[in-house]
Structure 1
Amino acid sequence: MTITLLLTAQASAQLLETPAQTLAQPILKGMTAEGTTLRQGLTTVTLDVAGGFVVGVLTETSSLDDLTRGVGAGWGLRATDLPKLKDNLSSPQVLSAARAGFVELTDDGATDLIALKVTGEESNTRYFAYVAVKVWADSAFPVTKAVTGDATAPVTLRVFSDFQCPYCKQMWDTAMPTWRKDSATNRVMHYEFPLSFHKNAEGAAQAGECAAAQGKFWPFADQLFANFNVWTPLNPKDAPGKYAAYAKAAGLDTTRFKSCLGKLETSDVVAHFITGQAIGVQGTPTVYLNGLKLSNYGDPGEVARARAVTTARPSAASVIEARLKLFR
């Protein structure tokens, strides 16, 4: 069992709330607020803020109870959740690992992280914990030829999608046109994430990459989604004929396109899929805004918060990384 599994708890979306909302949590009652810092005895809970929203919560204390309260505040837990969390934090395995200091993701979705460190002995023992949102660096994502929008756009939207996924079609019909139209604001990058239970998803992903090799990914993808109800029910051996027709409509060199399909060069598709799994992609569509995973790409409030914290100066990523140096 990993440290992450020991610490897994049902966290709500407390991170990315305003400082006032975070400080008002009942489990922090009794602590004295000084700006974005709470104090009580030898315990200090500090909120890291970027763009007006809380991106991390640091707890420094000599008390396991207060350590639990600080971590729980970062995760938006209720008082009834704290005993189980305390049991996990005080387990021998966790405390032993914390002597060296560690930083780990907290869930399979890879949306948050936790860092722990323990120093001193007996009455001089001090506990340090930090919970924060996970902002993925550009280097965490694979290379893709399917890119549109200005290179200087303040927002980069990285989309993991499956051409046979009805929810991806919904995204393509609703949010995607808006993103692509505002190319000065949004740079959109597409990644293949074909799901195994969609019989034509792998073939369509390969076709998409063959179109991308000719610099025609976007018009070809538009054709695939526009004809979603035509090719998705087909036997996989019959679908390539449709892909060729869509390639022609999208302005591709069809001879080159068919040759690409015939070679079955799926390395880009595999790379996208494996990397997606590594950064917490579990289904489609999954969208990252400037490296921050969105739970609902269609929620204007969430999108605005993600943009605020990732484009702030200093940004959430730099604030969090500076804090994590304490634990490494």
Structure 2
Amino acid sequence: MPRCRLFAAAVFLTVGSAHAQLWQTPQATAAQAILNGYAAQGNVLTRGDSTVTLDVAGNAVVGVYVQAASLGDLARGIGAGWGLVEADLPKLQANLAAPRVLDAARQGFVDVTSDDMTDVVALKATTTGTKTVYAAYVAAKVWPDNTFPVTKNVTGRATASDTLRIFSDFQCPYCRQMWQVAAQGWEAAPDTYRAYHYQFPLTRHRNALAAAEASECASAQGKFWPYADALFAAYDTWTPLEPKAVSPLLTTYAKTTGLDTAAFTACVTAHTFRSSIDAQIRAGIAVGVQATPTVYLNGVKLDDYSDADELARVHAATTATPDAATLIDARLKLFR
């Protein structure tokens, strides 16, 4: 899914594509070549002293818990969660053997795997006498509601089955594409989707911040959604202009949207919502927003918001009993 990029991700510990195996069925995860020789009983796979347990919600693997007596077996179990192949394992084992990683494991730690923050990894090493037992957990990252900022820009019913949190930039062409296609479908299904809009104007888009401020001033008059529609409808008109030429157009869109233009102009001139927008940007960065649009479904960062299969998998896992967040949080407590 194309997006307007903020920065590139750096990988922690991983040697392949983390997140590749999470969200797959337990059957697909267990069938990986690196788990050949493991005996399966339900969602638990064993080989010698090594155990790999699949945490499953809604028929999707949301976490892989590994217990092993060697770093080699530990790497193999972690690799099963990350969708690695045999050739990746020596490098992963070397990474796990690094002194800084082993020192952290002796204390027990939990961290995100990369700065896109879609996955978490936990490690723990427990030594009794001369024997060391290793444990690891790789899992999807499910962000709780309270990690997202407060916004009045919400559509859909409070009783909707799914919550969408959208970080967007009015000057981003991919955000316009989302707004004109996917977002219209979400808005048309208020019983299914409750959608929250957050401002994330990229600094390289010279008119994005002004548009974000204008939309918040429209929101103050209860007109965020129609004003946002107007901004995206006129995208080709205002986005190429110099910033000084955009201000009158923002006021024109306010008038055509039915706003009190005097109050709107006063709000924009005073930068009334600048601090709120800055807070939304900081909150977005804290949950791994690197590009626009970025969409979260029930706290899970989507790889492709237009992929119906991905939405269905995440919906099933986050609304199951027990749900993905409950399973993951219970497992992570073992490492803290």
TM-score of Structure 1 vs Structure 2, range by shorter chain: over 0.9
Aligned residues of 1:209 and 1:268 also touching (Cα < 8 A): no
In 2, Cα distance between equivalents of 1:71 and 1:273: 33
Aligned residues: 325
In 1, Cα distance between equivalents of 2:126 and 2:294: 39
Q: Does the alignment pair 1:37 with 2:47?
A: no
TM-score, L = length of structure 2: 0.95
1:283 to 286, 291, 294: 291
Match of 1:10 in 2: 16
1:51 to 35, 54, 58: 58
**Cα deviation, residue 118, structure 1:** 0.6
Alignment of 1:1-328 (within 5 A): 6-12=12-18, 13-121=20-128, 123-265=130-272, 266-328=274-336
**Cα deviation, residue 200, structure 1:** 0.4
3-state SS of 2:244 partner: coil
In 1, Cα distance between equivalents of 2:186 and 2:11: 37
3-state SS of 1:125 partner: strand
**Cα deviation, residue 176, structure 1:** 0.6
Give, as a single letter, the amino acid of the residue that structure 2 aligns with 1:26.
A
Aligned residues of 1:193 and 1:276 also touching (Cα < 8 A): yes
3-state SS of 1:145 partner: coil
TM-score, L = length of structure 1: 0.97
In 2, Cα distance between equivalents of 1:317 and 1:214: 37
In 1, Cα distance between equivalents of 2:227 and 2:330: 43
Deviations for 1:155-207, whole angstroms, at most 9, x for unmatched residues?
11100000000000000111010000000110010001111111100100111
Counterparts in 2 of 1:88 and 1:262: CA distance versus 1, 3 Å: same
CA RMSD of aligned residues (A): 1.2
3-state SS of 1:160 partner: strand
**Cα deviation, residue 268, structure 1:** 1.2
Aligned residues of 2:12 and 2:113 also touching (Cα < 8 A): no
Counterparts in 2 of 1:76 and 1:191: CA distance versus 1, 3 Å: same
In 1, Cα distance between equivalents of 2:16 and 2:205: 30
Deviations for 1:254-286, whole angstroms, at most 9, x for unmatched residues?
111111000013011101111111111011000
Counterparts in 2 of 1:144 and 1:205: CA distance versus 1, 3 Å: same
**Cα deviation, residue 9, structure 1:** 2.6
**Cα deviation, residue 213, structure 1:** 1.6
- Among the aligned pairs, what percent are the same residue? 56
In 1, Cα distance between equivalents of 2:15 and 2:287: 19
In 2, Cα distance between equivalents of 1:86 and 1:43: 15
Aligned residues of 1:247 and 1:257 also touching (Cα < 8 A): yes
3-state SS of 2:303 partner: coil
In 2, Cα distance between equivalents of 1:88 and 1:48: 25
